[in-house]
Every structure is written in C-alpha cells, then in structure tokens.
Structure 1
C-alpha cells in the first residue's frame, strides 16, 4: 500500500485512477455523492450548533433576574472608565448614589444626582444597582 497525498485525491490523476481501478465516470459519480454527503454533514453540524446555542441561552436566561427600577429609587452607577489618578485596585467600583428620574424602554434610565442636577446622558440598567441607605 502506498501513501497518497490529499491533493492527489481531490485532483484526479492517472495514479489515483490506476490504484482505485475505477473508470473516470464511476469515479466522478462517487466523488459527486461524497460532495453531497459533505453538504448534508455540514447542515447537520450547523443544526447541532444552533441547538446548542439555544440551549445555552435558555440555561443562562433561567438564572437572570430582571432589574426593576422606579422613579425616585436610589441607585449606584458602575464606574466604567478608570481615571488616570485612580488608586488602582483600591478605586471605587460604583459612583453615587443617584436618583432615578425617568425610565425608558429597553433599559435606559435618566439619573439625577442628590442635588437634583440632571445627568444629560441615559445610563443602561446593566451598569446600575439599587442603593439601600
């Protein structure tokens, strides 16, 4: 038995035909069947991948608790950007407290600071947590 390069299997050569003892038409039919099987296997793998992603999303979403805020609630805002003069790992993780002024769909919230000065930019609810004094 002699080793055959993968390139030679994909490109029909006289040596491959001689070793397999197939006519060119039969070899082409077998090759076409194999290519159809590759598409079928690819679709099966794609389906399994999508099913896996859906099951992982369901598993994750079971443990997610929605955050509900009402106007007037006190919240802390996560510090997203670390200032150059911060204290490294000893810097504060949350800023505030703030008062919830207005709630929009899709989780956007407008905040006021404790002096009733309004912050212009809305904040996502993912970056907030309730503050209990």
Structure 2
C-alpha cells in the first residue's frame, strides 16, 4: 500500500484533475499523470521552477522537455530535451529541474514530456 501526503493545493489539484486533464497551479503544486510527475514552484502566474519526475528510470536515454500549451491548442517548447539528473536521487527515478523565473498567460498549461515514453503531466497556470 502506498501512502501519499498532499498539501491543500495538492488536494484541490487531485479533485480537479479528472475534469480538466491538468491540475491547477495557482501558486505551487504537483500533479502525476501517465506515470510522470510535474512540480511547479511559484505564485500566481509567476513560475520560479519546474521539476519533472518519471519512474521507472530509462537510463541512459532519460531526457525530458517542458512545453507550454496555450488556449487554442498552440504548443510551444519552453525548454528543449534535457538529460535527467540522477545525482542524489533514487536510481529508479528520472528527475529534471528547470529554473524559469517568469510569468505565463492565465490558463496556460505547462507540461512535461519524457523521450521514448507516452503521455504528458500538466499543470494549469492561473491567478
């Protein structure tokens, strides 16, 4: 049995997840979809950093990228394919962190993709 702790933002994200396809990230939040996890740190529309995790590890081919899905369906790469950092993390988990330090349009979705794996994990950026 796996026990997971969640913050109030995480609980709200989990409740909205089945309806929206992405968890909201009003300040900071975490969502897991398709076996991938996205963690957004920031406040309002400002995103300080994004961390992507995926398990099991696919070393040495572990590369993730960050994309922005805007209203209307337009997808724009935010960060290109980046190798996973395995230093200090579980050998079974791939981890990549990007420091963004900028704001995004209200209603945008930041999504992480992993090379050679299907699906995306997304967070909705809103006020």
Q: Smaller-chain TM-score range?
A: under 0.3
| TM-score, normalised relative to structure 2 | 0.24
Higher helix proportion, which one? 1
Bigger relative CO (Cα 8 Å, ≥ 6 apart): 2
| TM-score, normalised relative to structure 1 | 0.23
